[in-house]
Structure 1
Amino acid sequence: MTGALLLTSAPTASADYVRDQQWVLDVFTMQDTWAESQGEGVTVAVVDSGVDASHPDLAGQVLKGKDFTDSGGNAQEDVLGHGTGMASIIAGHGHGHGKGNTSGVMGLAPKAKILPLRTLRTEEDRNADETWAAAVRYAVDQGAKVINLSFSNDYGKTLSDGREAIAYAQARDVVVVAGAGNNGGDISYPAALPGVVAVGAVDKDANLWDNSNTGKELTITAPGVDILSADPTRSSGYAVASGTSDATAYVSATAALVRAKYPDLTAGQVINRLIKSASFLGHKGLKAPDEGYGYGIIRPNKAVTMDIPKGPKEGPLGKLPSQASSKAGSGSAGNDDSSTRAKKKSSSISLPLVLGGIAAVVVLGGIIFAVVRSRGNRGDGGPGPGGPNGGPPAPSMDYPPRQSHAWPPPHPTAAPGQAQHPNPYTSHPPHQGQ
């Protein structure tokens, strides 16, 4: 991928420049949706690089969580920035001094709580199968109702630890959401596992992102291009990025909205509501499930307002074999056996985050820097040279280095106050192909 500026004009006078960049809030008519549900009473576990609990847009939303890395540090710290970004997309509430929360990032479920579970610290760290599996079990035992997995295996399928942990979650009524991958290949693991909500990415025009992985396992798609989120590693505190990572967080947030509005629904019935309320948004000739769009693009407002029958308790996606879920949770409160277990295991898979491909940092105060940030969710493209059966995994070429550009450019290409982008998300009939 080559670096590119994501913004098309210099900052304009507005209530909050950061808030103005969150196009998803407008296309999803979130003000109307929040009148129905804000995710209150629902805990979403973010298995990631930690979550910066001090970020003003997340203050009070982040639970203590747990660090599963060898560092034994604090899950409320995030030196990579990715986990904080996902948390802000899910449950950011913005900030403001005496003017309401009119500044900063708003997530789709601003009253949900975030359980941060740190399973890696830097881009170079291996997110071992048994490490994130222990975090998933811990999330279940701590009462999380949705688990966000914005990462994928670099090579091969999810190992037994991961499969058993996800089965453990499914058997205990938890919605598990994972990114499809960012290399334009097949659906990555763990997203490809039965019962997991596998998420692809679309852009402002409701078109599939070029790098979004596709396949028969894809469940649903969500906005994942030019997404603004919190980032404590940037001087502004924000970044703009693209990837199925961000799309996954939007689906997790929508699941939280549904769980808050309909607390009697099972995890399978929540997934059913996500699917039945989705739409192909004018893409004609598609039949659900489509390998590029799954059952369609999420529509949070419809997910909480449509008259949809509950359906079977197990939901439409099925589950992993139940016998795998019979093991007790190894990461329950006060029990650190999961960390010890992770250290003893020798098998691991290189699991860089589903980091969105191109990112731009938003700097308030009149100076904007566009930063290309790699959110390299590597897809499950098979073992490849030097894969798990032939030594350490070979480096993946779809994880570009960071590049940065000064912003604004010397000659802005668009003038302030230009017409707003049309909203294809509201101009098409409901879900097609079912």
Structure 2
Amino acid sequence: MADDESGLRSLSAASLIRLPAHGKDQSARLIIGADKGADALAAAARVAERLAEFQPVARLLSPLSTDVAVITLPGFGFSHDLAAVFDFAEALSRATGVAMIEPEFAYAPNIDEETKPGAAIPEGAFAVPGCWVGEDPALDGDTAWAPAMIRAPQAWAFSKDGGRPAAGKGVIIAHLDTGLTDHPELAGATLLSGLDLIDGDAMPQDPLDPSSGNPGHGTSTASVIVSQAKGKVTGSAPAASLLPVRCISSVIVVFASRIAEAIDHAVARGAHVITMSLGGLSSFSLERALARAVAADVIVLAAAGNCVKVVVYPAADPNCIAIGGVNAKSEPWRGSCRGPEVDICAPAENVFRAKAEPGGSGGSSQGEGTSYAVALMAGATACWLAHHGRARAIAAARSKGLSLQELFRRAVRDTARQPADWDAMLFGAGILNMEALLRLDLDAMPTREGGAGVSSAPTGEGRVRNLLLSLAEEPSEALAAAQIHAVQTEIIAQVMLRRTGDAQRTASRRLTEAISAEGVAALSLSACSSDAPAAPSLKPLALSADTRADAMLRHLRKRLVAKVAGLEAAELENVPDDAPLPPFEDALAAFDPANVDAFIARFPKGEVACPDDIKRALGIIWRQAKPAYGKLNSPGGISQASAGDKAALEAVVNFDGSSPSLLLRQSQVDIAHPLAGAWAESLFLANSGLLRDVAPAIGRIQRLDGGPAAFFGTGSLVAGAKKGDPPLVLTNFHVLQQILRSPGVQYRLSGSRMAIYGGPGLDFDGEIDSPVRVTHKIAAARLPKGCGQTAGAIDAVALEIAPVDRSKPELPTPIQLSSDVALAGNTAAKLIVIGFPADPKSSSGVVDGVDWNWISSVLFGRRFGLKRAAPGLVRTAVSGLGADWHESVFAHDASTLGGSSGSIVFGLATGTRGMGLHFAGLTGQRNEAHAFGTIADALSGVGICIA
């Protein structure tokens, strides 16, 4: 005991410093965590007892956070000797038996020596050379340029013209900042009573203290959200209600636990949106508060940060939408933080905002910083919720198996405007487009999902691993395998504080033990890289007006007519829209209960998991499809079809032989399969040529220990551009993104090439009767010019691979890609997609009490993640999808499902050359693919042969 006490005293002496009288707001804080259901306050009391000489004050974080307590040491602050501080926390943990004790730093970067105390400084509050731009006199005549750039006026008009609540009316935005002051630019705005967590009262008044670093910051950002445009400032949601919470005295002195407390307060007060124009370090208290907010259907936004390059917290947390910045020319603002966490950008340079200063006139001026970008985004979020209705948006999210936060993240990416030469690796999907965001139909959003058993959202640990990589001079497999869970906070602190030249380069004992000697050496001796490694940002394509479910039903109607009439699939275009439908019993004979036993008997061995389940599934389709079929056959009936009708008819298409997805065995399909339908003859010909030649080169991208239940997508071995070049694996850009977000994967970007460490492998067998056999792993990625996931981007990437061991396994023959654009320009041309469809968990979901996901799973024999071939037709030729679409895209109707991302599309009549790359789909309506002929230059630029 005496030794423990002596050790604590020694460590406390090295880690705690007495603060000057004016530094009380920076008092040291220890965050105490408890497992769910445990008493965090009791644990905090044990810790406080050991710190009695510092007169500690212990309390619960908030009424919503009973598993987190905070101990404050008034008048004492932590030194910047990170090793000593974290060793002190670990010693406290050993002495008290409290496992989770986290020291919390106020993130306070050094102010440039040219910036004197009390001087006016930019929004980020510290003058980093080369970061700030300064005011632009050319913009003085257009004070509303920022809301105009994001098409805010058009968004308001669209809502108003449609009879919807406009400009954010009825939506509550919690504004976590330095508080507010009276200002003419806020006159007429709806300001709710708030909370001051600094002074502990209900008056979130900004004292405009010149020593705070950025007085009036909260007033400035609030004006960008809710200003009524009566002065010079126009907010992006002037009809929204603002709930101010003063939780920081300066944007550069940020306690994560206080932000967490503010988030909890916002949730408890019924906020719909939380906006945070601030940034600093992370804490498990902040992580938990963000997760609680998202679970409560609150949309959480934060500024990516300024000048330090790496995205700061809370924006870097997976449960937060991170907003970067651009200028009036649609170029990235040079001070914007960048990297894998950035979802989208909005104006951040020379944005007009209210100016509140001590003794100021209450005027306005240009401001810089991602604080203004996230403020504009907060208004856009309020407009989106008001337009659609929050309850309806939540219902749409639930139907897709998403949180409201994730639905909005996808929607805002889906509709971003991407300028030419936009770097999606660093700045997300593009620039906010409020009008397009509101016009996007929540029920008509395409998906670009990967496989199964891997998260589609970034993980906190994955992001921290890449921060660790940014500290290393050379990445290594040792760093990729490090057990970092217990030391994540220290890694974040090391990175953030080093980037401002504000910390010693030593690691605590626990961090030292967590990684290998090689990793410690890299961490201890290297300087931070100037740019954090970056990953792409998920971005589905926008939809044109003719992609709604009605178009799907009209197409289905034609297929049913053609099927009963014995027409070839390619003859669909000759079927009139008003051709009479055959009797229901003829069109859906396979689902007739009288025929079920014969139908099941035709399935190949091993594809029937449970005959009784198949009978039940077919019976449900029969009952549900009958009334839906009647609507197809009545005037105006298509427009009256319910969600349940559409789900039933979608199931008909998947399982009546119109759009089969058939398992491969030794690169062949069973043409006698009951789902082969009218495709049997075409598949017979494919067996003897195309499938035999190309299927072996198509692999499942999976973790090294993964398989059909845990994989990322599909990758195809393709020929190199020059003779003698090694083959590459072609897949989607968004599949790479999912790989980079996977725990344990690290990467380093250099130009258009990204080295990958701890990455997944490929199983080129992947058939129903094949054992899992991973022979190669992904070593690097090559990024084609223009790659990304917006309507103007190419969703493709080339992967370099290496053997997983020294056995030098033989690779299959690479696939040749065709530059003939005409292959994808012939509507109704037959095609086939070969890939690894995953369990359709986000298909039609549960509709009117029917679980259509279960039905799909049963009729696929619960055999997912295995190599399949899916024939179909070109639905819309290249360049025929409307102005919102990339000129390389064509639409097809093959049954792909999630996991087929990255699959090559082959023409059934054109031999073994690939015609396109599948990348997205809209359930029951259509799938999208890039025609190789139109993106040949981009692919050739990364070493892929286009013949």
Q: Which of the five TM-score ranges fits, normalised by the shorter chain? A: 0.5 to 0.7
User: What is aligned with 1:418?
Assistant: none
1:162 aligns with 2:286: yes
1:385 aligns with 2:507: no
Provide the C-alpha distance between the structure 2 equivalents of 1:293 and 1:59, rounded to a whole number of angstroms: 35
TM-score between the two structures when normalised by the length of structure 1? 0.66
Q: Contact 1:45 / 1:146 at 8 angstroms: preserved in 2?
A: yes
What whole-Å deviation, never above 9, does each CA across 1:318-340 have from its counterpart, x for those lacking one? 6879xxxxxxxxxxxxxxxxxxx
User: Alpha carbons of 1:301 and 1:383: their partners in 2 closer, same or farther (altered >3 Å)?
Assistant: same
**Letter of the structure 2 residue corresponding to residue 224 of structure 1:** A
Identify, as 1 or 2, the structure richer in helix.
2
3-state DSSP class of the match of 1:106? coil
1:249 aligns with 2:378: no
Pick from 297, 303, 307 the counterpart of residue 173 of structure 1: 297
What whole-Å deviation, never above 9, does each CA across 1:336-373 have from its counterpart, x for those lacking one? xxxxxxxxxxxx99xxxxxxxxxxxxxxxxxxxxxxxx
User: What is aligned with 2:180?
Assistant: 51
**Letter of the structure 2 residue corresponding to residue 149 of structure 1:** M
User: Alpha carbons of 1:206 and 1:5: their partners in 2 closer, same or farther (altered >3 Å)?
Assistant: closer
5 Å-filtered alignment, 1:321-340, equals none
5 Å-filtered alignment, 1:33-432, equals 33-35=155-157, 36=159, 37-70=166-199, 72=201, 74-77=203-206, 79=208, 80-95=215-230, 103-122=231-250, 126-153=253-280, 157-233=281-357, 234-263=360-389, 264-266=392-394, 267=404, 268-283=406-421, 290-308=424-442, 309=444, 317=457, 381=499, 385-386=503-504, 430-432=791-793
| TM-aligned CA deviation for residue 162 of structure 1 | 0.9
Provide the C-alpha distance between the structure 1 equivalents of 2:792 and 2:197, rounded to a whole number of angstroms: 40
Q: Contact 2:308 / 2:500 at 8 angstroms: preserved in 1?
A: no
| TM-aligned CA deviation for residue 110 of structure 1 | 0.7
Cα RMSD (Å) of the superposition? Answer: 3.4
Q: Contact 2:189 / 2:227 at 8 angstroms: preserved in 1?
A: no
User: Alpha carbons of 1:10 and 1:255: their partners in 2 closer, same or farther (altered >3 Å)?
Assistant: closer
Q: Contact 1:269 / 1:310 at 8 angstroms: preserved in 2?
A: no
Provide the C-alpha distance between the structure 1 equivalents of 2:291 and 2:170, rounded to a whole number of angstroms: 24
3-state DSSP class of the match of 2:292? helix
| TM-aligned CA deviation for residue 310 of structure 1 | 5.3
What whole-Å deviation, never above 9, does each CA across 1:111-151 have from its counterpart, x for those lacking one? 01110000123467x33222111110000111111111111
Provide the C-alpha distance between the structure 2 equivalents of 1:147 and 1:380, rounded to a whole number of angstroms: 29
User: Alpha carbons of 1:90 and 1:291: their partners in 2 closer, same or farther (altered >3 Å)?
Assistant: same
User: What is aligned with 1:342?
Assistant: none
Provide the C-alpha distance between the structure 1 equivalents of 2:324 and 2:133, rounded to a whole number of angstroms: 22
TM-score between the two structures when normalised by the length of structure 2? 0.31
Identity of aligned residues (%): 25
5 Å-filtered alignment, 1:23-34, equals 23-34=145-156
User: Alpha carbons of 1:379 and 1:432: their partners in 2 closer, same or farther (altered >3 Å)?
Assistant: farther
Q: Contact 1:277 / 1:298 at 8 angstroms: preserved in 2?
A: yes
Provide the C-alpha distance between the structure 1 equivalents of 2:352 and 2:420, rounded to a whole number of angstroms: 26
Q: Contact 1:58 / 1:88 at 8 angstroms: preserved in 2?
A: no
**Letter of the structure 1 residue corresponding to residue 368 of structure 2:** S
Q: Contact 2:192 / 2:243 at 8 angstroms: preserved in 1?
A: yes
| TM-aligned CA deviation for residue 205 of structure 1 | 1.2
User: What is aligned with 1:366?
Assistant: none
3-state DSSP class of the match of 1:292? helix
Provide the C-alpha distance between the structure 1 equivalents of 2:193 and 2:354, rounded to a whole number of angstroms: 19
User: Alpha carbons of 1:276 and 1:49: their partners in 2 closer, same or farther (altered >3 Å)?
Assistant: same
**Letter of the structure 1 residue corresponding to residue 503 of structure 2:** P
1:22 aligns with 2:144: yes
What whole-Å deviation, never above 9, does each CA across 1:294-324 have from its counterpart, x for those lacking one? 1111101111113453579xx9746879xxx
Provide the C-alpha distance between the structure 2 equivalents of 1:197 and 1:379, rounded to a whole number of angstroms: 23
Provide the C-alpha distance between the structure 1 equivalents of 2:505 and 2:203, rounded to a whole number of angstroms: 32
Provide the C-alpha distance between the structure 1 equivalents of 2:361 and 2:298, rounded to a whole number of angstroms: 36
Query: Which runs of 5 or more residues in structure 1 are unaligned?
Result: 12-16, 96-102, 322-347, 350-377, 391-428
Identify, as 1 or 2, the structure richer in strand.
2
3-state DSSP class of the match of 1:75? coil
3-state DSSP class of the match of 1:94? coil
| TM-aligned CA deviation for residue 384 of structure 1 | 5.0
Larger radius of gyration: 2
User: Alpha carbons of 1:384 and 1:60: their partners in 2 closer, same or farther (altered >3 Å)?
Assistant: closer
**Letter of the structure 1 residue corresponding to residue 324 of structure 2:** G
Using CA pairs below 8 Å that are at least 6 residues apart, which structure has the higher relative contact order?
Answer: 1
Q: Contact 2:219 / 2:356 at 8 angstroms: preserved in 1?
A: yes
User: Alpha carbons of 1:239 and 1:194: their partners in 2 closer, same or farther (altered >3 Å)?
Assistant: same
**Letter of the structure 2 residue corresponding to residue 82 of structure 1:** H
